[in-house]
Structure 1
Amino acid sequence: MKTTLLKSAATLAIVSGFMMPMAAMATPTTYTQASGQAITNNTTIVSDMVINDTGMIDGLTIELDIEHTWIGDLIIQLTGPDGFTTITLMDRPGAPSSTFGNSGDLVFGVPLIFDDAAATAAEAANGGGTYAPDGLLSTFIGSDLAGTWSLSISDNADADQGNLRSWSLNVDVTSVPEPEILALFGFGLIGMGALRRRRQS
């Protein structure tokens, strides 16, 4: 009977070993926050996105639906749920000697995307497109998804204004194994160890 129980424990460890990787598979998810906030001269706006889903971040990009008539005015930053980790996505590209003119406009329907893997740096931005942010979005990898994410946009000059329509986080999330699975896995490992010792004796 004891041997049967030990064998069952070993089997449980093997099954749990398969269950845990399945529970830890990364799942791509998009979270969008509607904003509709005006970006006015020499002011900073903050748009908060509350995410209730749990999981560990495995990858992250961010997309803004934004308009502004002079991209060189803008500093854009993202703060994670811990309230302390902040990265700069873009810091007044081309300023103070911006030569973009009208080509520097951001317009409705043209997304501004930040992706660590992008070939063009944010400081070379001249409108909508995909750019590598000044700070690394990979800074957030391994942190918890749940909580309040904050996007801040500051306008640092006169004359030009704009609007933040919405913004989205595109996240690869690795789910955290349930405590019950961890307990089963631990029990199975104990059983395997006991079975091995029994066979050696």
Structure 2
Amino acid sequence: MVNSKFLTAALSLALLLNIVPSVLAATLTGAGGSIPDNSPTSPLTSSVTFTDSFAIDSVTIALNNLSHTFVGDLIATLTHVETGTSVDLFNRITNNNGVNPDSSNLGGTYTFSDSAPISFLTAVRSGGTNFVVPTGSYAPTGLLSAFIGESSLGTYLLTISDNAAADVGTLGSFTLTLNPAAATAVPEPATLLGLLAGCGAFARLKKRA
């Protein structure tokens, strides 16, 4: 039977030597499809389900090969089904007058992260008529930090709705990455056993002395 003092010592030594491996980020890719025109109640939906369990520290989502001829028509939302937490990636972005929906086009892969250097709103408004928003990494309209602290387990639903007539688009796929908090790191069993053996040997030498 393992002495509890040895187990405590092994865990402490593992942390001290920084040999406790971090839980790896989890990444899944969901299907794409056509975005139904002027169908706010029948949007494109796609989901992925994570079975890895850890506390979320940050979230990144990429909309791969997203195309549309009027970004101001669209609302894109990521929802954690089990918790109900929902974040807008973008929501009917208006042009620089702040009133009319922006007519910029989408044609690329758009990655959303709270740590991105520029907001998607700023990028959309940086061009004129027929402007195509460049592929890149952008901060979303909402804050993905809303997912921080939640369990990674469960289903994540991407919804993209078109809310006006005449313009259409498609999504190739989406990729969702959940990054764990450092506090969820756990030592590997083999590492702990090795440290326990070392602690036991040290204790026996000390006792003989």
Question: Which residue, out of 161, 181, 194, partners 1:154?
Answer: 161
> Which one of the candidate residues 114, 117, 120 is aligned to 2:115?
117
In the other structure, the counterpart of 2:76 is: 76
* Displacement of 1:26: 4.1
Distance in 1, Cα, partners of 2:78 & 2:19 = 31
Instruction: Give me the whole-angstrom Cα distance separating, in 1, the residues matched to 2:70 and 2:52.
Output: 36
d(CA) in 2 for partners of 1:32 and 1:151?
11
Secondary structure of 1:168 counterpart: strand
Deviation of residue 47 (structure 1)? 1.3
Taking the aligned partners of 1:15 and 1:106, their CA distance within structure 2 comes to 54
The aligned counterpart of 1:166 is 173
Distance 1:32 1:64, change over 3 A: same
Name the amino acid aligned to 2:148: I
* Code of the aligned partner of 1:62: I
How far off is 1:22 after superposition? Answer: 5.8
Q: Deviations over 1:66-94 (max 9, x none)?
A: 11111111111111142411111111122
- Mapped partners of 2:19, 2:33: distance in 1: 39
Name which of 19, 22, 25 aligns with 2:22: 25
The answer as to whether partners of 1:115 and 1:131 remain within 8 angstroms in 2 is yes
C-alpha distance in 2, partners of 1:27/1:87?
A: 24
Distance 1:24 1:82, change over 3 A: farther
Q: Identify which of 18, 31, 41 aligns with 2:38.
A: 41
**Structure 1 position 88 matched with structure 2 position 50:** no
Find the counterpart in structure 2 of residue 58 from structure 1. Answer: 57
Greater alpha carbon shift after TM alignment, 168-177 vs 131-140: 168-177
* Identity level (%): 32
Q: Which runs of 5+ in 2 are unaligned?
A: 125-132, 193-209
CA distance in 2, matches of 1:46, 1:53: 23
Q: Matched residues in 1 for 2:150 and 2:21: separation? A: 14
Checking the alignment, whether the CA contact within 8 Å between 2:78 and 2:158 is kept in structure 1 is yes
With structure 2 as the length reference, what TM-score do the two structures score? 0.70
**Distance 1:159-1:13 versus aligned 2 partners, 3 A rule:** same
The structure where helix makes up a greater share of residues is 1
Deviations 1:102-151 (A, max 9, x none): xx2112xx211111012322322422432211221111111111111011
- Give the SS at the match of 1:120: coil
Give RMSD over aligned pairs: 2.9
**Contact 2:46-2:159 within 8 A present in 1 as well:** yes
The Cα of 1:177 is off from its aligned counterpart by 4.9
Report the Cα distance in structure 2 between the residues aligned to 1:91 and 1:60, rounded to whole angstroms. 19
Q: Against the structure 1 CA distance between its residues 67 and 166, is the aligned structure 2 distance closer, same or farther, given a 3 Å change threshold?
A: same
- Give the Å deviation of 1:46: 1.9
Q: 1:14 to 1:47 in 2, by over 3 A?
A: same
